[in-house]
Chains A and B, each alone.
Chain A
Amino acid sequence: MPKVKIPRKSTAQDMTAMCDVAFLLLTFFMLTSKFTSKEAVQVSTPSSISEIKIPEVNVVTILIDKDGKVYFGMDKQEHRKELIEKIGAHRKVVFTPKEIHDFSLITSFGVPVEKLKLFLAQPPADRDMKQWAIGIPCDSLDNQFKEWVYFARQVNPNIRIAIKGDRKTPYAVIKKVMNSLQDIKENRYNLITSLEEAPKDL
């Protein structure tokens, strides 16, 4: 048999086009999205057909995780600064300017006021540790949650309250939160949900 020489062609592709596409996509993502702010706790919300979008500004976010712990968050750094000053005045706790500044940098937190100073003294990486996942007290004896929302309304009269609860959050906690809000006459609020397709025939 004669030695058949199979003509070999180079299999290397010219990757320049692929590279262009990759960088175009990258530029798109860089310009059109913004970094998600780090929330105190991950919550997986239930779904609903509601398509109303959450407002972006003037929002107070109340996060409730599946163990029933309540976290509070407010947008706008200056408002957070004013808020902690008001809480400090109300509870007769003095916060140092450094603590006030640190507080204004975090978007949401969940510690009772007594532990707030200690919490703020921690470096940001340590704040995520399990020991700080205490939650803001919402019981009838010491309803700090009500105070936070009340002063938040004073700082910014235009806020809208958004409740972001987990699917597995027990209704008892939701009831406590809603009752506390009713006590301070906050009767309109939004429940944050993920999107679900509406049934076609209705």
Chain B
Amino acid sequence: MSEVSQDSGGGKKKGSSKQKKASTRIDFTPMVDLGFLLITFFMLATTLIKPQTMEIAMPSKDQAKEPPKKKAENMVTVLIGKDDKLCYYIGGPDTKTGELPTPTKIDYSPKGLRKLLIEKNARVVSQIIDLKKRKNLTKMNDKVFEDEKNKIKSQKNLPFVVIKATDDATYKNLVDVLDEMQICNIASYAITDINKDEIELVKNLK
């Protein structure tokens, strides 16, 4: 009776001393979820990219609006209308009748306005492409590149563009046209007011 069966006692002791070992590994999945939630919040609420700008300089009002002594065949007038309508005419009004030359309809695609401007400005465009090739080969520094570019653009007898827009054209149209000026390296361009005849011309474009 005093004799407790060793086995069972031992067994019991074993059972009570053998603590259940809890796993010490924590599941980190919710922590990762939290981390990515915070990342997404910061990604959306903050900005890394600085928005770009286009520089534009307008002539002051005191000066004459018409640029002096430019050859008519070098002047391209681009008319911007409602619903992305775009047309151009070359030269000025007929000296005798005062009538404007018939406009040609074009669009904003590379085959439209850009093709026209590259054709008109072919000399400058090819010179600047050569300049860019030289820059890549000789590792020209940026300031020299800009100076050379300006020299090319200040040659004589280059085409210049007059931009006129109707009141119902959109800002995007204007920015696209100004952008094409930059892409095609047009040396001089100006934004001026549109007159009644030109508004009619644009309205009647098919």
Residues of A within 8 A of B (CB): 12, 14-16, 18-19, 22-23, 25-26, 29-30, 32-36, 45-54, 56, 64, 162, 164-172, 174-175, 178, 181-183, 185, 187-196, 198-199, 202
Contacts and interface: CB of A to CB of B under 8 A. Distances in A.
Q: Give the interface residue-count category, chain B.
A: 35 or more
26 contacts: A15-B27, A26-B38, A29-B42, A30-B42, A46-B172, A46-B176, A48-B52, A48-B179, A49-B179, A49-B183, A50-B55, A52-B54, A53-B53, A54-B51, A167-B170, A170-B167, A170-B169, A175-B167, A181-B58, A182-B60, A187-B58, A188-B56, A189-B56, A194-B52, A195-B52, A202-B184
Contacts of B53: 50, 52-54, 162, 190-193
B140 interface: no
Contacts of B118: 202
Given A22-B32, A26-B38, A166 B171 contact: yes
Contacts of B55: 50, 52, 188, 190
Given A15-B29, A168-B170, A202-B184, A50 B42 contact: no
B115 to A, nearest CB: 11
Interface of B: 25, 27-29, 31-32, 35-36, 38-39, 42-43, 45-48, 50-61, 80, 110, 114, 118, 125, 129, 165-176, 178-179, 182-185, 191, 193
B50 A56 contact: yes
Contacts of A172: 167-168
Contacts of B114: 199
Nearest to B114: A199
Chain A interface mostly: mixed
